[in-house]
A and B are shown apart, each in its own frame.
Chain A
Amino acid sequence: MAREPGFSEKLVGERLHLVLSGEWTLAVSAQLEAASRKLLASAHRALKVTLDLEHIERIDTAGAWLVDRVRADLVAHGIDADYGGARADFTLLLTESRYEPVPQPVARHGNLFVDLLADIGETIVGIARNLLGGMTFLGKVVHALVRVILNPARLRGTSVVFHVEAFAFRSLPIIVLINFLVGCIVAQQSIFQLQKFGAATFSVDLIGILTLRELAVLLTSIMIAGRSGSAITAELGSMKMREEIDALRVMGMSPIDVLVMPRILALVISLPLLTFLADLAGILGGMVVALTYGDISPEVFFARLQSAIALNTFLVGLIKAPFMATVIGIIAAMEGLATQGSAESLGRQVTASVVKSIFMVIVVDGIFAMFFAAIKY
């Protein structure tokens, strides 16, 4: 239905009359710009121009802007341009959308090499800031913890219990399952390799020690970093975005006390519990595979296991759990509270939280391995 924007030319004395017609609206956006370019080209041939608006069917702000841009361009080129036959409502629209030069956003043209160096520099400074920020944050949490210990009434017990349920209880099935499966895989491979030496029963040593010392705690921590760490970051981040954190602050409550402490405490409680169950699941998985692939009966399996491991094997794994929990909690909370106003930023923080905490979990595990090797525990 819409008639395309167009115009016709008419010479009256020295003045070129350009009679605009049709619809100058966004409904015909594809033709609109082309029409205004043609209009400009035609008008440039004359010295005096009148843009006649009388026969325009409809015009909107975009059309008015384009027409007025043509007029402004002509005036800038020393051509005498005015409007003719404009109806009252068009005049109002033309004043409302009168042309003003729009400053084009300046594109930054940098040297690629300099940009690269600047990026590297910024990243390194960022890492340093991050480490420093992490330390500061840890300090604040420890401070809050000391206050809670001095005055146990400050502890938000309900919140802690609620989060233990979310972090430990709800993630129990998946953690037991992956540890069971990894126990199976370790057992299968070690049986296959050791059978060549006729030492298949030694695979029990491998399963027991590997699961208890390293695998159970590592897998559980990584799973919790992905599952609960991301949840913490997303929760705190969206609270930050909606000024809920600010609301807490102005009510005299510290977000560290109210939000961060209960979550970190819950993680510190949950992770050792989960690690213990992960130990059991891993060994169970090993036992099942030992029976099916290596013909090692459960009696033999347990006899072997008892001589291979001692209490310290179990403790080495378990001791690491609260440290892992603290690292995950601190990183998740810090990233959450660093969220800026946009939804994109929230996504970035959640990603950063998961990546950083998994990385740090592995680093911490390595440090513990060196430490225990040094003290021969």
Chain B
Amino acid sequence: MTDTPAIRVRGITVGFGEKIILDHLDLDVKRGEVLGFVGGSGTGKSVLTRTILGLVHQREGSIEVFGQDLAALKPDEHRAMERRWGVLFQHGALFSGLTVRQNIQVPMREYLHLSQELMDELAMLKIRMVGLPADAAEKFPSELSGGMIKRAALARALALDPEILFLDEPTSGLDPIGAAEFDTLIRTLQKTLGLTVYMVTHDLDSLYSICDRIAALADRKIVAAGTLEEILQVRHPWVQSYFHGARAKARGASS
């Protein structure tokens, strides 16, 4: 059971109209690992994430989560599956008419039988865990800064203590200290809850500090996947310039 990967993507092809974004793409995310997913802007990282989540339909290929083929699931099985993952969208996607606390409680209300008191407490716990001040609880999304929206959205993604966490650029828009705290938090959660984390990121620091493995998307395929050391050996030009470019060098010099 434990050796089946958390997510197994096989031969996924996704396109919009004439344009093919992903072409027979394969990807495995192992249980309990933090996978960093990199790729240039507009290469289809968000599209792949949305395809796994069932928001975009693939033309070909299959997706298995915890060994279950998503296409073969019945609606209530799919619902049970959705309860096991938490998603942080690239732009937060908080419900604009609800406060942060209510946003976090939306999945709790839907899936759990808890007293209002405990839900309030758990919401405050999540708010504290993601590093938001307590007074953010009663604020509406339009009253939050960009970084606070990211944190609130993470708090909502964590509401049900999911087994897989999908993060689309969690640290973009955060200050470096905040981003480092975010990384530590994700690491802690991953260690304590045995979480599997699928993280789309452009943040070299996150890749170096918390990712167990890295997958790189280019030319509509995964061109490299493996530990950081393995990726650094890959000869693909995009991967080379990503990990050996000026920013990567600057990072190497400072650390």
Taking Cβ atoms with an 8 Å cutoff, the residues of A that contact B are 25-26, 29-30, 32-33, 60-62, 65-66, 69, 89-90, 92-93, 96-97, 100, 102-105, 241, 340-345
Q: Are A29 and B192 in contact (CB under 8 A)?
A: no
Q: Are B129 and A60 in contact (CB under 8 A)?
A: no
List of B residues within 8 angstroms of A30 by Cβ: 112-113
Q: Are A96 and B112 in contact (CB under 8 A)?
A: no
List of A residues within 8 angstroms of B160 by Cβ: 26
- CB contact between B138 and one of A60, A66, A69, A105 (< 8 Å): that residue: A105
- CB contact between B120 and one of A61, A62, A102 (< 8 Å): that residue: A102
Give CA–CA (A102, B124) in the complex, Å.
7
Q: Are B129 and A96 in contact (CB under 8 A)?
A: yes
The proximity string for B residues 80-108 relative to A, scoring 1 for CB distances below 8 Å and 0 otherwise, is 00000000000000011100000000000
Q: How far is the CB of B142 from chain A (nearest CB, A)?
A: 2
- CB contact between A342 and one of B126, B142, B193 (< 8 Å): that residue: B142
- CB contact between A61 and one of B96, B138, B161 (< 8 Å): that residue: B161
Give CA–CA (A191, B220) in the complex, Å.
74
Chain B residue with Cβ nearest A91: B192
- CB contact between B193 and one of A60, A100, A103, A241 (< 8 Å): that residue: A60
Q: Are A92 and B129 in contact (CB under 8 A)?
A: no
Q: Are B118 and A33 in contact (CB under 8 A)?
A: yes
Give CA–CA (A96, B134) in the complex, Å.
16
Q: Are B115 and A33 in contact (CB under 8 A)?
A: yes
Known: A33-B118, A100-B128, A105-B138. A341 touches B192 (CB 8 A): no
Q: Are B193 and A341 in contact (CB under 8 A)?
A: no
Is residue B243 within 8 Å, beta carbon to beta carbon, of the partner chain? Answer: no
Known: A341-B141, A342-B140. A26 touches B112 (CB 8 A): yes
Q: Are A62 and B97 in contact (CB under 8 A)?
A: no
List of A residues within 8 angstroms of B113 by Cβ: 29-30
Question: Which interface class (under 10, 10 to 19, 20 to 34, 35 or more) fits B?
Answer: 20 to 34
List of B residues within 8 angstroms of A25 by Cβ: 161
Give CA–CA (A60, B158) in the complex, Å.
11
Q: Are A65 and B125 in contact (CB under 8 A)?
A: yes
Give CA–CA (A89, B190) in the complex, Å.
10
Q: Are B142 and A105 in contact (CB under 8 A)?
A: no
Is residue B77 within 8 Å, beta carbon to beta carbon, of the partner chain? Answer: no
Q: Are B118 and A343 in contact (CB under 8 A)?
A: no
Is residue B247 within 8 Å, beta carbon to beta carbon, of the partner chain? Answer: no
Is residue B122 within 8 Å, beta carbon to beta carbon, of the partner chain? Answer: yes
Sample (23) of A-B pairs whose CB atoms are under 8 Å apart: A26-B112, A26-B160, A29-B113, A32-B114, A33-B114, A33-B118, A60-B193, A61-B125, A61-B158, A62-B122, A65-B122, A66-B118, A89-B191, A90-B192, A92-B188, A93-B192, A96-B188, A96-B189, A97-B129, A105-B120, A241-B96, A341-B140, A344-B96
Beta-carbon contacts under 8 Å, B151-209 to A: 158, 160-161, 188-189, 191-193
Chain A residue with Cβ nearest B141: A341
Known: A29-B114, A33-B114. A342 touches B122 (CB 8 A): no
Give CA–CA (A263, B189) in the complex, Å.
53
Q: How far is the CB of A106 from chain B (nearest CB, A)?
A: 11
Chain A residue with Cβ nearest B121: A102
Q: Are A341 and B120 in contact (CB under 8 A)?
A: no
Q: How far is the CB of B191 from chain A (nearest CB, A)?
A: 6
List of A residues within 8 angstroms of B230 by Cβ: none
- CB contact between A341 and one of B126, B138, B143, B191 (< 8 Å): that residue: B143
Q: How far is the CB of B105 from chain A (nearest CB, A)?
A: 12
Q: Are A92 and B118 in contact (CB under 8 A)?
A: no
Q: Are A104 and B140 in contact (CB under 8 A)?
A: no
